[in-house]
Structure 1
Amino acid sequence: MVDEVGYQPLERAEANLVFQVISKRYEKGSTILTSNKIFSEWGQVFGDEVLATAILDRLLHHREVISINGPSYRLKNRLKAIERENDVA
């Protein structure tokens, strides 16, 4: 599992490593990625539109894409913790 693809842009060497990992896993096993970036923004994330397209081509072939919209689960839990802290104070 790769969490938060696109949180920070990758250097060229890092993007190439991601491509190598995805290519080696292609049609061999499940790969789960999470991102808040839409596919059209992945060229910016990987610093290269062609490389991003190659990665997406392998990821999306025979795959299921699940889009989840709504408030952040992590942020929701953090806000609850802050509320509890304020109730105690």
Structure 2
Amino acid sequence: MIWMKIVEIDVRLPCNKRGALLKMLSSKLRGKIKEAHLYPPDSRGFSEVLIEVETDEDPSSIMSELRRILHGVPFKIKVMQA
């Protein structure tokens, strides 16, 4: 039996790249985006994106996929349910 995991991804990036990020994540990750919170930009134009993904993949494979997609943009990942 395969257990589904809920993985929370927290990314801070320029607000004009938020839509492109969600589009890439939904096409690249073989999981289902449960929730996506797009917070308003700060005074420097950076916005925080908080995404919850339901997946059966290993979280380390999700991290390696994110490193390829985000190209040096800092992000945090947290496994909410194992």
TM-score between the two structures when normalised by the length of structure 1: 0.27
Name the structure with the higher strand share: 2
- In our comparison, the structure showing a higher alpha carbon Rg is 1
| Relative contact order higher in (CA < 8 Å, ≥ 6 apart) | 2
